[in-house]
Amino acid sequence: MQDTTTPHGLYVNRRRFFQLSAALTAGTAFGLDSPAAGALDEKYLEALEALECAPDLTLPQETLTPFKNIVRYNNYYEFSPDKKAPAILAQALDTSDWHIDIGGLVKQPLRLSVAPLLARALVHRQYRLRCVEGWSMVIPWCGIPLHTILSQVDATPEARYIKFTGTYEPEAMIGQRRNALDWPYIEGLRLDEARNPLTLLALGLYDKALTKQNGAPLRLVVPWKYGFKSIKAIKKIEFVHEQPVTTWMKKAPAEYGFYANVNPSVPHPRWSQRREVRIGEVKKRRTEMFNGYAQYVEHMYEGMSLSDHF
């Protein structure tokens, strides 16, 4: 476990990495049979530890939420609406040989497999995660700024938004056998939001490979927005012209907006957003505008009435 003040270590062992990366490409090093709840795939973990994961931005430093809470209290409706169930049920998802397709309004679509993504320099980002239900965590992620992935393709001038699509595997994801939500899970960002330096594709947390219940092998993290925007287990990233209709907007349009910026002055119909409780703590704390990341993001919303954009 990491303390809250020590900077991240560097994990550079290129020779070992290339051996592991060959194994990853062959699909042998990912967790096919993670045995227990919260268990980490040892080989995937080893591969991640062979990489470089260092802080690249100066971010607010706070007490981190303990690892055990991050991996045992999850929202992952593809498995269950219960907070504790994904830690067990998500182990059924096969994250080996995973690839993401980047396409839509681009000159040349691109397919990326996770193994070469791991070969890049990963950044360490300690972010607050604020759920619209009124709880929050502080999570040390490890990943790739999304803009570096998006810049690998040439978007056409019509592209205005990015649409993210999760995976649809009802055999493994037992929650998808019910129609509680419209599957697969869909999310979206405006192009400038997607290119904002804070927007991250996470591959790890707490110096370890991302656990399946937290969205392995890779998920979005948008720290100034409510947690439901941070889609897990992404399969597709598309440049689109129209604002995507996201899963939660479709389910309850009066409750979930497209922007969903953390905003203590705009109440959700069921939950006041003024205060929040950190998982593992008892006392409530005040929720901050943009979840405390205003300096990085408020310029994107100049001239926009934020009270209209839950």
Extract long-range pairs of 217-222: CB within 8 Å, 24+ residues apart. Answer: 217/30, 217/44, 217/95, 217/98, 217/114, 218/98, 218/100, 218/114, 218/117, 218/143, 220/146, 220/164, 220/187, 221/125, 221/127, 221/129, 221/141, 221/143, 222/189, 222/193, 222/198
75 belongs to the binding site for ligand MTE (CB under 6 A): yes
41 belongs to the binding site for ligand MTE (CB under 6 A): no
The contacts of residue 199 (CB under 8 Å, 6+ apart) are 145, 146, 147, 189, 193, 220, 221, 222
The contacts of residue 256 (CB under 8 Å, 6+ apart) are 132, 228, 246, 248, 249, 310
Which stretch, 102-110, 148-156, 230-238, 297-305, contacts ligand MTE (CB under 6 A)? 230-238
The CB-of-17 to ligand MTE minimum distance in angstroms stands at: 26
The CB-of-115 to ligand MTE minimum distance in angstroms stands at: 22
- How many Å apart are CA 77 and CA 108, to the nearest integer? 33
140 belongs to the binding site for ligand MTE (CB under 6 A): no
* Residue with smaller CB distance to ligand MTE, 8 or 235: 235
* Residue with smaller CB distance to ligand MTE, 145 or 166: 166
* Residue with smaller CB distance to ligand MTE, 185 or 206: 185
Other Cβ atoms less than 10 A from the Cβ of 116: the count is 12
Instruction: Give how many residues touch ligand MTE by CB under 6 A.
Output: 17
310 belongs to the binding site for ligand MTE (CB under 6 A): no
* Residue with smaller CB distance to ligand MTE, 146 or 231: 231
- Closest alpha carbon to 103 in 241, 237, 220, 245: 237
Q: Among 72, 128, 225, 232, which residue sits at the site for ligand MTE (rule: CB under 6 A)? A: 232
Which stretch, 45-53, 226-234, 268-276, 299-307, contacts ligand MTE (CB under 6 A)? 226-234
The CB-of-3 to ligand MTE minimum distance in angstroms stands at: 21
Q: Among 230, 261, 287, 291, which residue sits at the site for ligand MTE (rule: CB under 6 A)? A: 230
Interacting residues with ligand MTE (CB under 6 A): 74-78, 129, 131, 166, 185, 214-215, 227-228, 230-233
